[in-house]
Structure 1
Amino acid sequence: MSGGLFALLDDISVLARAAAASIDDVAAASGRASVKAAGVVVDDTAVTPRYVEGLDPKRELPIIKRIAIGSLRNKLVFIVPAILLLNAFIPWLLSPLLMLGGTYLCFEGAEKIWEKVSGHGHHAGEEQVGDEDSIVRGAVTTDFILSAEIMVISLKAVLDEGLDDSFWYLLAVMVVVAVVITLVVYGTVALIVKMDDIGLSLSRRESGLSQTVGQGLVSGMPKLLTVLSVVGVAAMLWVGGHIILVGLEETGWLPQPYEFVHHLEEQVHHATGALGGVLGWLTNTVASAILGLLVGALVVAVMHVLPFGKDEGETAATH
């Protein structure tokens, strides 16, 4: 009896160690997958604060909370099951879908540049603030596309490691990635939109240091939003271009651009000594961003510039 009990305890111990190792593997894989999706995460973080511009400051955090819940629901209820089913039954479709999403990112980035250059974009105060439900719906819809990109990139990052491609392992990793990235993105967004309030509170304290920090936060908020906007556009072009570059090679449709950029990256890496890693990565990033800008500009031309791409209102406005 005692022998059987000790054997059972030993088995439980082995299972516990295996479970702990699996948890460590899932956590590590989730972290690496999240890093791979960093570009889209930056874009998601840069895009969201604009949804609460002009609203009552007391409603900013509740609205961000609703958007975050909607984002997490997007990932866990729709996106993760969909991409895992695709991976299980038609895995070859993941790369084309990812490229389609990359094209959308390129279009979004190029469109923002086109609006800035042409003056056709929305100006501050031009749009009326809608009701909270409409704001949340719009934000969650936009988030769906970015979240899908994040989760597919994360899945491919895990698969590329070749460690474990079982359904339950991938599900665990994807759930962890979904929760962590949602918390990081919307926690950062909440901090950004309340930064001016924090600064105002600090500026009213008696401490000279608090007042200086507070005034710096208040005056620095517009600059931070401007930087985030630029970083968001750059991230869209870079990530979108890189997705297309890699996808063309993986699908075998047009491997030459990837081979050229990879060869150029290696040359820069070997020719620049200690800075080779950074400059090699920068070479790949710039090349991806250029490709992203070209692809995005082509889509913008079809959607906005060429006659058959304009909607009726826009066409009428030009006459």
Structure 2
Amino acid sequence: IFPHNEDSKDKAELTDEEVLVQEKENIKDAVVTDFVLSIEIVLIALSTVMDKSLTEQIIITSLVAFAATVGVYGIVALIVRLDDLGVWFVKRGQKEVGVFLVKMMSVIIVALGYIGTTAMLLVAGGIFTHNIHLLHSFFESNLTFSGIAFLITIASEIGVSLIVGLIAFMLFRVFKTISKKN
């Protein structure tokens, strides 16, 4: 949502030490993002089995967490290796395919940034709205599974979840800024 502050130096001008520091920061950011996504997945899974016994909650939530982890990291591994696959095609004489795959990497990464950010805001907002009785009961009472009313209710819930997610994110940024100053 908010672009990171770019250094005035061009990336080619960075020293090896600066590149390592930047890479460590990128890894730290990725780990934090993965942690937040993992918590969201576990909370969603747990919310669907709250009426079950504690043993069933633990088993089902653990299975969902495991499946999500394997699935997500499997897809990430495939995406990360897409450019290697492109190079492999180039070396095998299929230059067009290889160049296409390498060029697609940047498009995929940018798209995933937008999709991932939107998904995180929607899920976070959904977690909040499902725990705010007034909002949750409003959507539950207006949810009918037929026609345009269903689409309007779903679109409304998505919109409210996105707004609530943005508000939560803004509050987090304010808290983070204040805590850095102290």
Map 1:15-94 onto structure 2 (within 5 A): none
Q: Which residue of 1 aligns with 2:130?
A: 246
Q: 1:241, 1:293 within 8 Å by CA — same for their partners in 2?
A: yes
Given candidates 74, 90, 93, the residue that maps to 1:187 is 74
Q: CA deviation at 1:158?
A: 2.0
Q: 1:248, 1:258 within 8 Å by CA — same for their partners in 2?
A: yes
Q: Which residue of 1 aligns with 2:96?
A: 212
Matched, 1:158 2:49: yes
Query: CA distance change for structure 1 residues 176 and 259 in 2, over 3 Å: closer, same or farther?
Result: closer
* Misfit runs of 4+, over 6 Å: 131-138
SS of residue matched to 1:123? coil
Query: CA distance change for structure 1 residues 265 and 217 in 2, over 3 Å: closer, same or farther?
Result: farther
Q: 2:86, 2:100 within 8 Å by CA — same for their partners in 1?
A: yes
- Counterparts of 1:247 and 1:170, CA distance in 2: 19
Q: 1:237, 1:288 within 8 Å by CA — same for their partners in 2?
A: yes
Map 1:63-142 onto structure 2 (within 5 A): 113=1, 115-116=2-3, 121-123=4-6, 125=11, 128-130=19-21, 139-140=30-31, 142=33
Q: 1:262, 1:284 within 8 Å by CA — same for their partners in 2?
A: no
Q: Which residue of 2 aligns with 1:90?
A: none
Query: CA distance change for structure 1 residues 223 and 282 in 2, over 3 Å: closer, same or farther?
Result: same
Uncovered stretches (5+) of structure 1, i.e. residues with no partner: 1-112, 250-254, 314-319
Q: CA RMSD in A?
A: 3.3
Q: Which residue of 2 aligns with 1:81?
A: none
Q: Which residue of 1 aligns with 2:106?
A: 222
Q: CA deviation at 1:301?
A: 3.6
- Counterparts of 1:184 and 1:303, CA distance in 2: 31
Q: 2:143, 2:150 within 8 Å by CA — same for their partners in 1?
A: no
- Counterparts of 1:265 and 1:289, CA distance in 2: 19
Higher RCO, 1 vs 2 (CA within 8 Å, ≥6 residues apart): 1
Stretch of structure 1 that moved more, 214-223 or 174-183: 174-183
Uncovered stretches (5+) of structure 2, i.e. residues with no partner: none
Q: 1:261, 1:287 within 8 Å by CA — same for their partners in 2?
A: no
- Counterparts of 1:175 and 1:193, CA distance in 2: 26
Which amino acid letter does the alignment assign opposite residue 105 of structure 2?
M
Q: Which residue of 2 aligns with 1:258?
A: 136
SS of residue matched to 2:40? helix
Q: Which residue of 2 aligns with 1:175?
A: 62
- Counterparts of 2:171 and 2:54, CA distance in 1: 39
Query: CA distance change for structure 1 residues 135 and 312 in 2, over 3 Å: closer, same or farther?
Result: closer
Q: 2:37, 2:120 within 8 Å by CA — same for their partners in 1?
A: no
Map 1:6-17 onto structure 2 (within 5 A): none
Taking structure 2 as the reference length, the TM-score comes to 0.75
Query: CA distance change for structure 1 residues 134 and 297 in 2, over 3 Å: closer, same or farther?
Result: closer
- Counterparts of 2:102 and 2:146, CA distance in 1: 45
- Counterparts of 1:134 and 1:301, CA distance in 2: 20
Q: Which residue of 2 aligns with 1:284?
A: 157
Given candidates 62, 65, 88, the residue that maps to 1:201 is 88
Tell me the number of residue pairs that the alignment of Structure 1 and Structure 2 aligns: 174
Which amino acid letter does the alignment assign opposite residue 113 of structure 2?
S
- Counterparts of 1:176 and 1:283, CA distance in 2: 31
Matched, 1:147 2:38: yes
- Counterparts of 1:279 and 1:214, CA distance in 2: 44
Q: 1:265, 1:284 within 8 Å by CA — same for their partners in 2?
A: no
Matched, 1:311 2:180: yes
Q: What do residues 72-93 of structure 1 show as CA deviations (whole Å, max 9, x unaligned)?
A: xxxxxxxxxxxxxxxxxxxxxx
Q: CA deviation at 1:176?
A: 1.8
- Counterparts of 2:24 and 2:107, CA distance in 1: 29
Q: CA deviation at 1:292?
A: 1.4
